[in-house]
Structure 1
Amino acid sequence: MSAPTRFLGDRVRTRSRGPGLLRRSLRSSAERSVYDVLRYSHLAARPFRAGLGPRPATQSARAMRQLLDVEAVAVIDTEVVLAYAGSGSKRHQDAPRLFRLASLAMESGRAQSGPPGWICGESECSLGETLAVPLRVGNDSVGAIFLGRGEGREISLGLARATREMGRLIGVQLALAEQDATRQELTRARTVAMRAQISPHFAYNTLTAAASLVRRDPDRARELLVQFADFSRYILRNDRVNTPLSDELRNVHNYLDLERMRHPDRLEVVFRIDPGVLHVLVPVLILQPLVENAVQHGIEESGEGGKVTIIAEDRDEDVFVAVSDTGVGLDDEVVSGLLGESPPSGDDGHFGIRSVNERLRTTYGDRYRLSLSSAPGEGLIASFCVPKYRAGVTA
């Protein structure tokens, strides 16, 4: 490994790869200028991936002031000044004319300018000419960038164009933030729907089994009810969209224990879990529908019992998860229909499988989807991969 080099004040470690380009200190003023523009553009736009709020606005305003070389920068939404960086912050940030100029830009969808001293209405104002540029997402103005030159300085055509381009970059990040929020709401709605679909007849059968054991085997009945309470608590809680894989496995273990208590001689369960993947976040209830499908449509329909196997393996940057059964299996046409874009009409009893596939794709993208392998009489294998880390996927 080569020695650390200085890159505009930052320490950058480079890995020697023999002949070819190596990272070096920027030598010419042109190289430094290009780097500064790209770096500060990124620092100004990127915070808005989290949405339009005070914290992203503050980070962005500081970077834009450096990038555009102006006396002051403010970021405004449709109601308030979110952040102000630069000269005269106490006097200018709450100035009604600053918000008025920004409002004119938002209403017209075009840049608006103000003469020297106009913002605070004082002859000794520290700001020269001012400019407000709208921030747009689609056809809607959601905010504005305000900037002020130093005393006696004008807004050049180049500066105005640069500010408009900065507004477009920020608009792209705000649009992505809206997409993230929509995706999260869709995932949350699907999770709620999934909770509602957890088999009601399983709850009824479990409680009936517990009632039948109360007199002849009270200890076993008590154990059954405690596990059912833990299972129900996990299913019904609505404060999470994602959870560690360990929680999912614990819930599935409770479910399968309950099923084995009801069918002690018919159900064999095998877990093959890599301990190194237990911390990885996955969508809540991503395993339960697959395991329930394996028991109900695989084992119970066979009439002879069988085995359910749950696997979780480390696959470099991903985690591979599979649920398999030795039940009745499905033919190719049914498998294709379950993962197709157009779900079949009516309730075919496989809502859970389709929901798992949809939630994987919504959370991680089309690369991560459910895979089914089956044949009549040979059981079903449902498998998928999830990334060990994904931006925006939090507990």
Structure 2
Amino acid sequence: MADLLLLAALLLAVVVTALLLRWWLLGRRTGLGSPEERATYATLHTASLAAPALRGGLTADTASRALPYLRSLLGARTVGLTDSHGPLAWTGGDAWDQAGSVVADVLDSGRPQASGHVIVAPLTVEDRVVGTIVAVDDAPSAGLARTATEVARWVSSQLELAELDASRTALMEAELRALRAQISPHFIYNSLGAIASFVRTDPERARELLLEFADFTRYSFRQHGEFTTLAEELRSIERYLVLEKARFGDRLRVVTRVAPEVLNVTVPFLSVQPLVENAVRHGLEKKDGTGTITVVAEDAGAECVITIEDDGVGSDPDTVRDALSGRTGSPSVGLANVDERLRTVYGNDHGIVVETGVGLGTKVTVRVPKFAPGVE
């Protein structure tokens, strides 16, 4: 009997808790459902729908995709976007005949203007007028004029972000070209020399190395995409080390530890391989006897942590600082390039960290967020 009473009490407690939770949730929903809150939500939601198109820059295509949402924000009969040369797209009808002269004045003055049924506000990027937003209504009000100005400012902010993205992409491409120009000739010369040494003594080995060399160079010189997966980058590193082991023989040992969870993490293209090449060139080439390179990729919650460590000759910390600053004459040509690209993509908190000392080897650590805006 006592057990039944206890069970009944527990069931009652569960039911009461469930009812209280439901009441609390309903109260929360009611609190979030005031006209002002619904209007705020609708505005932010509509703006978020327009943002992806505008982040593509100001073109006829992006204007066409963004305009339905901008028209909803403005509540005007007809809305258009222009660049500095003329109209890009309209929704609700073409009003260029009415708006053309006003648009020209706004492009020239950089200030919002209204004339008759037409309201025009400038779109600016870094103080440059790059276009306008046009609102046409049967009875335009002062409220519509203020709204058009605010919407134009928001559109301008999205266009500035688009320009920053384009600048970042151009910078990344330029740095990749510089990296290939600086690092690849040295590696190609050494690899071909190693392969040539096997042509007579071990033709099959020479053939295998040539295939590895072809796959490595195909990856390194590909012309599309600024990002890749960590798995692809590690495969390239494996090919690179196979070629270097052909040159070093038993002097080079390689240890690799990779967590399967991080293989699909997206990383900047050629962001790890140059660090491995740097370890070989500046850590092990000058060392007598056997040298070891250890490549580790670990799962660290929201980040992937990659370390490249060698037990080579090490370096003076001041020399490393010179390398990271990109000063002329620094031997570690890849360090500054990789560091700059990582900071460009992920922010200043994600540059490379180098631990080294003369005769103590070198350890380079890279922390890559598993998910980051614009990285895919």
TM-score (norm 2): 0.87
Q: 1:20: Cα distance to partner?
A: 11
Conserved in 2, the CA contact under 8 Å of 1:76 and 1:99?
Answer: no
Conserved in 2, the CA contact under 8 Å of 1:323 and 1:383?
Answer: yes
Aligned with 2:349: secondary structure?
A: coil
Q: 1:169: Cα distance to partner?
A: 1.2
State the alpha-carbon separation in 2 of the partners of residues 277 and 82 from structure 1.
44
State the alpha-carbon separation in 2 of the partners of residues 58 and 363 from structure 1.
29
Conserved in 2, the CA contact under 8 Å of 1:133 and 1:144?
Answer: yes
State the alpha-carbon separation in 1 of the partners of residues 276 and 86 from structure 2.
51
Is residue 254 from structure 1 mapped to residue 239 from structure 2 by the alignment?
Answer: yes
State the alpha-carbon separation in 2 of the partners of residues 22 and 189 from structure 1.
56
Code of the aligned partner of 1:144: T
Is residue 354 from structure 1 mapped to residue 321 from structure 2 by the alignment?
Answer: no
Residues 72-83 of structure 1 mapped to structure 2, 5 A cutoff:
72-83=78-89
Residues 9-48 of structure 1 mapped to structure 2, 5 A cutoff:
23-25=28-30, 26-44=32-50, 47-48=53-54
Tell me what 2:356 maps to: 374
State the alpha-carbon separation in 2 of the partners of residues 298 and 22 from structure 1.
65
Tell me what 1:113 maps to: 114
Listed one character per residue, the Cα deviations across residues 8-37 of structure 1 (whole Å, up to 9, x for unaligned) are xxxxxxxx8x99998524443233333333
Is residue 386 from structure 1 mapped to residue 371 from structure 2 by the alignment?
Answer: no
Residues 21-100 of structure 1 mapped to structure 2, 5 A cutoff:
23-25=28-30, 26-44=32-50, 47-86=53-92, 89=93, 92=94, 95-100=96-101
Conserved in 2, the CA contact under 8 Å of 1:61 and 1:85?
Answer: yes
Tell me what 2:129 maps to: 141
Tell me what 1:213 maps to: 198
Tell me what 2:298 maps to: 313
Conserved in 2, the CA contact under 8 Å of 1:45 and 1:169?
Answer: no
Tell me what 1:123 maps to: none
Q: 1:277: Cα distance to partner?
A: 1.5
Code of the aligned partner of 2:119: L
Count of residues in Structure 1 that have an aligned counterpart in Structure 2: 355
Listed one character per residue, the Cα deviations across residues 146-166 of structure 1 (whole Å, up to 9, x for unaligned) are 11113xx2x222221121111
Q: Taking every aligned residue pair, what percent have the same amino acid on both sides? A: 41
Tell me what 2:120 maps to: 132
For residues 287 and 27 of structure 1, do their structure 2 counterparts lie closer, same or farther at Cα, with a shift above 3 Å needed?
Answer: closer
Segments of 5+ residues of structure 1 without an aligned counterpart are: 1-15, 116-128
State the alpha-carbon separation in 1 of the partners of residues 245 and 40 from structure 2.
66
Conserved in 2, the CA contact under 8 Å of 1:45 and 1:166?
Answer: no
For residues 199 and 57 of structure 1, do their structure 2 counterparts lie closer, same or farther at Cα, with a shift above 3 Å needed?
Answer: closer
Conserved in 2, the CA contact under 8 Å of 1:235 and 1:285?
Answer: yes
Moved more, 40-49 or 356-365: 40-49
Listed one character per residue, the Cα deviations across residues 50-104 of structure 1 (whole Å, up to 9, x for unaligned) are 2112343234322232222221111112234333222xx2xx25x4443343232
Aligned with 2:164: secondary structure?
A: helix
State the alpha-carbon separation in 2 of the partners of residues 367 and 228 from structure 1.
35
For residues 222 and 41 of structure 1, do their structure 2 counterparts lie closer, same or farther at Cα, with a shift above 3 Å needed?
Answer: closer
Tell me what 2:183 maps to: 198
Listed one character per residue, the Cα deviations across residues 99-147 of structure 1 (whole Å, up to 9, x for unaligned) are 34323221221223332xxxxxxxxxxxxx1211111112211111111
Residues 331-350 of structure 1 mapped to structure 2, 5 A cutoff:
331-339=316-324, 342-344=325-327, 346-350=328-332
State the alpha-carbon separation in 2 of the partners of residues 57 and 328 from structure 1.
58
Code of the aligned partner of 1:243: T
Conserved in 1, the CA contact under 8 Å of 2:43 and 2:73?
Answer: yes
Aligned with 2:200: secondary structure?
A: coil
Moved more, 25-34 or 253-262: 25-34
Conserved in 2, the CA contact under 8 Å of 1:374 and 1:380?
Answer: yes
Tell me what 1:12 maps to: none
Equivalent residue in structure 2 for 1:281, among 266, 275, 280: 266
Aligned with 1:248: secondary structure?
A: helix
Listed one character per residue, the Cα deviations across residues 306-362 of structure 1 (whole Å, up to 9, x for unaligned) are 1101111111221111110111112333333333xx443x32211111111111001
Q: 1:289: Cα distance to partner?
A: 1.4
Tell me what 2:207 maps to: 222
Tell me what 2:152 maps to: 167
Conserved in 2, the CA contact under 8 Å of 1:137 and 1:174?
Answer: yes
TM-score (norm 1): 0.83
Aligned with 1:180: secondary structure?
A: helix
For residues 336 and 104 of structure 1, do their structure 2 counterparts lie closer, same or farther at Cα, with a shift above 3 Å needed?
Answer: same
Aligned with 2:360: secondary structure?
A: coil
Q: 1:177: Cα distance to partner?
A: 1.1
Conserved in 1, the CA contact under 8 Å of 2:98 and 2:118?
Answer: no
State the alpha-carbon separation in 2 of the partners of residues 21 and 384 from structure 1.
47
Listed one character per residue, the Cα deviations across residues 347-383 of structure 1 (whole Å, up to 9, x for unaligned) are 2211111111111001111121100112222211101
Q: CA RMSD in A?
A: 2.4
Moved more, 66-75 or 349-358: 66-75
